[in-house]
Chains A and B, each alone.
Chain A
Amino acid sequence: MKTSNDCVNNNYLEYVKSISPKTKQKRSLLRAFWVGGVICLVGQGFRYLFEYGLGMSGDELSSYVSMVMIFLGSFLTGLGVYDRIGKYAGGGSIVPITGFANSVVSPSMEFKTEGYVYGTAAKMFVVAGPIIVFGIASSVLVGILYFIGFRIF
């Protein structure tokens, strides 16, 4: 997506790198750490709520927790809050499952002008597509390898 800008910005990026102090990078690590940690704490909170409040367990429990986290991620993206968190926290907002939801909703909203089919629906998978492709492909590979392994041993 950034192809044409890349070569133009290279000099500028190097310049920024040369003047930006090391402390700024350390601060970004700290921000990623605490925001990422807090997002996981929210997830754990819902885990406790569903486990002790609603009596869920196992796969059902973890599925509903990720559903709620994805709901929150896409809702906050819609409100424009998640992008602000992202600017502050970087990796701390990308890696949690809420960041996956953000990567679905964000381009989808952006390209709404291209229509409800080729805009909203198609652009949902700009970032999520590769994740689903690699995720499913690798899980099939693991499944088949284990299947062969279980039959031999």
Chain B
Amino acid sequence: MVLEVLFTLLKVFVVGGAICTIAQLLINYTKITAGKILVIFLLAGVVLQSVGLYQYLVDFAGAGATVPICGFGYLLADGAIKGAKISLFKAVTGGISSAAMGITAAIVFGYIFALIFKSRSKRN
């Protein structure tokens, strides 16, 4: 049981780390900015899940696959595909409704913390 958990944690660490290393490779060897990298990884997650591949990575590595932004793309595509089985309405709204918590949290926490804290970038 303990060994199993440790092995899972190792898989999470390696897969999550590997995805971030790919991003760092893009930063080092191309001139792609951080915002575009986020969009590329998000779309990669959507595409990989729409052909059914990202699910394997999620089953294999858990949070190692869902915490990176491509996991957000996976969630969107997964919701849309599950919705498409039910109706056209669910096919269109399925993506955003499965990602609703993430988007809501980013907006609500983002606004609250931006109000509370002051920018420190000028002090550094």
Where the two chains meet, the residues of A that have a C-beta atom closer than 8 Å to any C-beta of B are: 25, 28-29, 31-41, 43-44, 46-48, 59, 62-67, 69-71, 74-75, 77-80, 83, 89-92, 94-101, 103-106, 108-110, 112, 116, 120-121, 124, 126-128, 130-132, 134-136, 138-140, 142-147, 149-150
User: A46–B19 Cα gap in the complex (Å)?
Assistant: 20
**29 sampled A-B residue pairs with Cβ under 8 A:** A37-B12, A38-B13, A40-B64, A44-B12, A44-B63, A63-B101, A91-B21, A91-B27, A95-B69, A96-B20, A99-B34, A99-B38, A100-B106, A101-B105, A106-B119, A108-B114, A130-B35, A135-B95, A136-B95, A138-B76, A139-B96, A142-B77, A142-B81, A143-B80, A144-B88, A145-B50, A147-B84, A147-B87, A149-B84
CB nearest to B87 among chain A residues: A147
Instruction: Summarize A's interface: helix, strand, loop or mixed.
Output: helix
Indicate if the CB atoms of B16 and A40 lie closer than 8 Å.
yes
Within 8 Å CB of B26, what residues of A?
Answer: 91
Interface size of B as a range: 35 or more
| Main secondary structure on B side of the interface with A | helix
Q: Establish whether residues B111 and A41, one from each chain, have CB atoms under 8 Å apart when the complex forms.
A: no
Q: Is the CB of B67 within 8 A of A29?
A: no
